[in-house]
Amino acid sequence: MKKILITRRLLRSCEDKAKETFDANFNLNDELYSQQKLIELSKGCDGILSSLTDKLDAVTINKLPDTIKIISNFAVGFGNIDLEAAKSRGIAVTNTPEVLTDATAEIGVLLILGACRRASEGIASAREGGWKWSADYLIGKQLTGTRLGVLGMGRIGQKIAKIAKSLGMIIHYHNRSKLSDDKDQGATYHDTLKGLLSVSDVLSICCPASKETVDMINKETIEYLPKGAVVTNVARGDIVDDEAMIDALERRKIYAVGLDVYKNEPNLNPGYLKHKSAFILPHLGSATKDTRTAMANLAIDNIDEYFSTGNCKNKVN
């Protein structure tokens, strides 16, 4: 029986599955392991079931024991892992695609609604009490007839577009290439980032994290957006230059932001807290029981498939 290190707590049913499949070393206190402790705990293990909170950079990967043959990431993203370093060590890296599409897209739509309709201010006002209705009280942006720009029209982007279209939004998107007609759902394709941003009353960031997308939304590209645009991010925090975005909020270039992800999670840039128009969530994209169960089970299955066949369909390196 293969031995694996599971770096964070999973739902009980998933830990039971791992226990039946492997000799599993669990993180019973759900502590965030330091890189050094992760290296130490992986001694004698054949694989690691990691989390996005684990920073498996080149230095860490190069110090892993030779017995480690696979890192199965409990996420669809894998920006926390240096893929080239893993490949050079002969370590397979896998992820959990598809199973979190619906749950993450739901949060993506919530961000759009929350930011456009001033949900943070409304919640605060309701909790404080004593608010008085008036014709202009907490007026927000209506979605019907508004142009939604989807940056990254993958599975999640397509699902957000589908829901947004049902709300009367007009869909535009930017990808490396144009989608087939059955996937783009009649949306307008833009072959440049500038082209997309210039028509995005609301921007939904859904693209994968990569070296090319770090700070893609920055001081320069924010200026392509229409004045008073809304920006939401359900992808990865590294895609947005926080200082540039906060500056744009202060200048009212940007009307509001909706963020489920941000740099240095869980430590939010305090500049956002100065703006009532910032609708912030603590990375809830996949946070449903069904989705987290499916993700963990797939991460376990990825390891099992790799050791059974020598390969895995969800291998990303």
Selected catalytic residue, list 236, 252, 292, 305: 236
For residue 252, indicate whether it is catalytic. Answer: no
Residue 129 and residue 242 in one domain: yes
Asked whether residue 88 falls in the same domain as residue 121, the answer is no
Q: 265 and 235 in one domain?
A: yes
* Token couple for 291: 């989705």
Give 239-281 pLDDT, tens digit per residue. Answer: 999 999 999 999 999 999 999 999 999 999 999 999 999 999 9
* Average pLDDT of the chain, as a whole number: 96
Distances (CA, A) of 251 to 73, 94, 126, 134, 237: 39, 42, 27, 26, 22
pLDDT tens digits along 154-174: 999 999 999 999 999 999 999
Cα–Cα distance measured from residue 144 to residue 139, given in angstroms and rounded to the nearest whole number? 15
Q: Based on the domain organization, do 14 and 157 belong to the same domain?
A: no
Estimate to the nearest angstrom the gap between the alpha carbon of 178 and the chain centroid: 22
Quick count: other Cβ atoms within 10 Å of Cβ 133? Answer: 6
Which domain does 132 fall in, by range?
101-280
Q: pLDDT at residue 211 above 90?
A: no
Query: Do 210 and 253 share a structural domain?
Result: yes
Q: Give the total number of structural domains in the chain.
A: 2
For residue 224, the model assigns a pLDDT of 98
Residue 259 and residue 141 share a domain: yes
Is 142 found in the same domain as 82?
A: no
Q: Is 236 a catalytic residue?
A: yes
Query: Tokens standing for 210?
Result: 């990569």
* CATH code (residue 53): 3.40.50.720
Selected catalytic residue, list 15, 98, 121, 265: 265
* Active-site pick, 89, 147, 275, 283: 283
Amino acid at site 297: N
First to last CA, the chain: 25
The mean pLDDT value for 299-314 works out to: 97
Residue 210's pLDDT band (boundaries 50, 70, 90)?
A: confident
Please report whether residue 258 resides in a domain.
Answer: yes
Whether residues 186 and 254 share a domain: the answer is: yes
